[in-house]
Amino acid sequence: LVPSASCAVPSRKTMPAISKKVSAASTRRDTALALGMAVPMTMTFAMPRQVSAPRAAQVQAVSEAPSSQPQVSGHRAVGAAALGGLLAAGSLTRQNQRRGPLPTRTVACSATATLDREEQEEVGLADPAEKLEEYIKAKGGNKVLRKILIANNGMAATKAILSMRQWAYLELGLDNAFEFVAMATRDDLEANAEFLRLADTFVEVPSGKNVNNYANVDLICEIAKAQGVDAVWPGWGHASENPKLPQKLSEMGVTFIGPTSPVMSVLGDKIAANILAQTAGVPCIPWSGDGLDASLQEDGTIPEEVFKKGCVFSVEEAKASAEKIGFPIMIKASEGGGGKGIRMIDKMEELENAFIQVQNEVVGSPIFMMQLCSGARHIEVQIVGDEHGCAVALNGRDCSTQRRFQKIFEEGPPSIVPRATFREMEKAAQRLTQNLGYKGAGTVEYLYNVNEDKFYFLELNPRLQVEHPVTEEVTRVNMPATQMLVCSGIPLQNLPQIRTFYGKSSDDLTSPINFLEDDYVYPDRHVIAARITAENPDDAFKPTSGKIQRIKFQSSVSCWGYFSVGANGGIHEYADSQFGHIFAHGANREDARKALMLALRNMDIVGEIRNPVEYLVELLKTDAFIQNTIDTSWLDGILAARSVGVKYNQFDIIFNAAIFKAVQTLKSSEDEVLSALEKSQLGPLKDLSKMNSFPIEIAFEGVKYNFEVTRLGPDLLQMSIGGQKFISQVLTQPDGTFFVSTGNKVNKVFGTEEALGLRLRLEGIGTVMLPTLYDPSELRSEFNGKVVRYLQDDGAAVKEGEPYVELEAMKMIMPVKASGSGKISHTAGAGSIVAAGDLLGSLELDDPSKVKKIVAFEGSFQPTDLEDDKGSAGSLQSQVSMLLDGYLPVEGSASLAQKLFAETPAAERDQVTIDILDRFLAVEEKFSSLNAENLTDDQIFTTLINENKESLVTVANLCRAHSQLAARTETVLATLRSVRSLTPSAGLAERIRKLADLTGQSYGSVALVAKNLTAKMSATPFDERLSSLRSKLDSSAVDFQAVSALPASQAGAELLTSLLKDSSEEVRSNALEALMRRLYRSFVIEDLKVESSGDEMSSSLKFKFPGTTSVREAIVRVVPSADKIKDVVKGALAFQDVSSGNNTVKVIVTSSAEQGEDFYAQDADFQSMIADAEVAMKAADENLKSSGVREVGIMMTQA
């Protein structure tokens, strides 16, 4: 991550000589860092709870590849400030860390960078303090600011340390030129704040509101004194605009990196700044101080009475001022900032609440009012002043994309403003600050009317702003370093980066710059930045707080970013909502926009917080942004109209939400089972089958969707709704996300169950909230925060959609609206800390009948791209395997086995059978052996637990499989039937014998079939028996009486039907006669004839029961496939006696598995064939009756 500006540095020959002898390794490492290459680095941090308890961590130094920059004045330009881990590592171990008598804790963060001490001695690095002092003096400075207290946290602290370390390395070749002391609350420590890793030392300070820590002037000064720092860097927010801080530090002899107290007081105050601006003739929009002017007094302030005339002190004064100014109006706290202490109102009825909210957000701050300039752009000029009376304008920024007056995107240069007009803005800002002796960085803000090409002074911020890297990108000036250097007394015109910006030699200090008259080299690129915040874009960007598991962001040549938190960090309730900033550049605005979109699309933030990344992408795609026709009200209008947002097919959301809840249900159940097993509790083991099928209910947008979940495998789910079935494979990832594969479609899903509902994030779609269904009479908090005040008395009436309470969260005061109309009862008091979902009040509803009802879903469920492909349960072999592991099949278990063997080549059936029997025996041999000991189920479970204490998952798997014994038994029986004609291998024969040895009533059917097969296996192989029988039938004089008397193993129906397909017509005919004599051997056969014509054969016979005289007739037809049955029953049946009604028709179907699709090997197909045969017989009913047929029999090979 590369968070600093491009900086031009002296070429090697102009830099101070470091050493005559430089090792090859050191040279390579130096070059790598300068070019922005990755440099491996190991850093050991000592961060003890107590000073004696170190902990270690390793990091990888990463920097950005250089961007293409032009050569300026013979010096090489370095792209977006290549920051390696070396620069971020911290300085070498410090000695004699100071610690004052504070109610805080000081911790030294000792880091060893790539250049260790031995290497530093080898390259002859000078003492850091001496080298910094030499540089400051050479540039005309008068003080060295080496040990710096960072009086801030989050983004500000992170950026300051990174930037100043970067400057020191690129300019001085040192990574340890500065020593940074940070302040850290317990909240920041627990949130794994990035700036604490970067600092050399941190001092633990009280938690809570910033008045306890970062905004506490006395505490900051106390730490500065105790730590013996040279300077304090205030950043933005907190105490950065409190004039008491520079005043008190000045009295202590500590440098404040910013303007002096009087100047900060007069310019930093928005009221005084407006008065001074209109006094200087800078155009101002109508406000509460219209017409006031004032000159600075000797103490650097304006007269108190003039100042107060620009303020409003009460609701009544605010109303009077509003009448004079006209609506719409902004109410602003002069000490506010960052969207805090500012409200926009359109009518008088909104004024009182808005005024009170501003008072509460910035307590004690003077308040003023100004007309809201509709359709305006927010344009900023970045200024820096030195103590020698000069002020430079470092171009500017367009910050018009705002919500609640908080910036979302910032860009520069402000291309919407003509260059001549913008130059006037810059000069006005320079004159205003230069005349006041402003020192340090500041921002003059204007409202710009595009249509009229006019600008109006808005305010001056006497501090650095969070969006300053935009200026760094377009000017290649490192802003935090520039702040430090001008406060070291160096004239602006002597700073190398400033000189390069003006197209002058960075080393030639004899060529002065007139900042008001000379023009700088206009930027050759456009930059657009996006703030990454912990805010909910679906709820008007309300702030959120919580843990952050992971941030994935890939920097590139055209985009970089930095973050204030790392992996396993978080955003606490007292932190600023912004935790990241992304900057993209291009040759023009459109190129920068595309680069930013690409970076945001590839960003992934996982955690409890909400973030607007997907929403930002949608904003960047809008025509208004692309055409650059936006204004400061544009985004608020979009939010109000909800015209931009994540677009999706609601069925996709519901389907993946159901998958997520199903996965969570299974995980919860599995955790419960394992927890119970650890305690030897047996109850859950008896209910494992319930995990295979369960309901899931999803409510979304007033509709309830009821799914039935069937578990087909460990990661395979069948989701059924409204008669439709979808099969999805769910692959869980270590980071908590999972891939859902349905048909040819794969979705990456991440979900979080929160108090207010399920937050679902789908890659390629975005984040969607599926709210928990609460009783409408319950009023609940929508976010974490603190109750400020209720807006209605307890028991008073409130209307639906009307604010009823104000909560403070992330330094903002936000109203929460009622979900219904009725009488409110308060359930929390002012100052109460509440979490999202907590009850804030209850309603006695005016009309309960008007509460919106949730209706059940009806109709066709149609997720995207799943209309025709609803997923697959996998191969037949995997389906059978999962069935044997205790999961549910998509169809009958016997049918699955039959289908499997129908499609399995004969050569592979032996091994497939072995695999199936192994899976069955792996479970049932254990239970059979324990059954043989007459153990109860509980005793069996206990024995299994004791045998698998190190792998309780094995116990759960065994018990789940055994719970599906009935289906597993059907599968094994179907398997044995399918291979009964095989000559088994020794391995298969061994498995079948093991099946025969299973004991217990549950295994009776399997054991019986296995014993029969075992006996059969001990006989002559099937092929040999078939050959022997064929030799007996391959004769014109067959002894059919002898053949029919043979045992079934030598001349049974299985062998005889196989010969009905023999190539010899004589063998086929004899086989049919032998089959008939065998089938009717219990009867007296008086006449039997066999006729053969090609592939078709028929037989007719007369028979009677022994001891009777009544003769019956039978006609047998042999057909190649089942579809010929209808031809038989519809055709002529030549019975001699049709009056008896006792005639029989038999149809023998000779098709087999080898003959393909006509072979009905599956139960479903077999039943379908039977149904077709019944239809055919009904259609031939008259023919059959007229032929005296009593029964029709069908004979076919069994699968």
Positions marked active-site: 463
Distance CA 1089, CA 1198 (A): 27
Residues 6+ positions from 47 with CB-CB distance below 8 Å: 54, 55, 107, 109
| Closest of 494, 480, 525 to residue 195, by C-alpha | 480
- Rounded CA-CA distance 571/548 in Å is 7
Show the DSSP H helices in 494-537 as ranges.
Answer: 496-501
Element holding 484 (H helix, E strand): helix 479-487
Cβ-contact 897, 916 below 8 angstroms: yes
Q: How far apart are CA 274 and CA 279, in angstroms?
A: 8
- 407 and 348 Cβ atoms separated by less than 8 Å: no
Give rounded-to-5 percent helix, strand, coil for the chain. 40, 25, 40
- Rounded CA-CA distance 436/169 in Å is 34
Residue 1120: strand, helix, or coil: coil
Alpha carbon distance 904, 910 (integer Å):
10
- CA dist 244 and 431 (Å) reads 25
DSSP conformation letters of 877-915: HHHHHHHHTTPPPSS-HHHHHHHHHHHS-GGGHHHHHHH
Helix (H) and strand (E) counts for the chain? Answer: 39, 48
Residue 808, H or E segment: strand 803-809
Residue 1177 tokens read as 């017989």
- Closest among 370, 369, 397 to 465, alpha carbons compared: 397
Could you tell me the two tokens for 373?
């300039």
Residue 200 · residue 109 · CB < 8 Å: yes
Instruction: Determine the Cα–Cα distance for residues 247 and 226; give it in Å rounded to an integer.
Output: 18
Give the helix/strand (H/E) hosting 470.
helix 468-475
Distance CA 1073, CA 1035 (A): 13
402-403 and 406-407 strand pairing: antiparallel
Place of tokens 């069937």: 710
Q: Does an H or E element contain 409, and which?
A: strand 409-412
- Kindly give the residue spans of alpha helices, DSSP state H, lying in 10-123: 24-35, 85-88, 117-123
Q: Residue written as tokens 């994309």? A: 401
Adjacent-strand bridge partners of 906:
none
How many CB atoms neighbour CB 186 within 10 A? Answer: 15
* 695: β partners: 708
How many C-beta atoms surround the C-beta of residue 867 within 10 A?
11
Instruction: Output the DSSP codes for 909-975.
Output: HHHHHHHHHHHHHHHHHHHHHHHHTT--HHHHHHHHHHHTTT-HHHHHHHHHHHHTHHHHHHHHHHH
* C-alpha 704, offset from chain centre: 25
Q: Residue 898: left if φ>0, alpha if ψ -120 to 50, beta else—which one?
A: alpha
Place of tokens 């219990």: 1082
Structure tokens at 1144: 């029989």
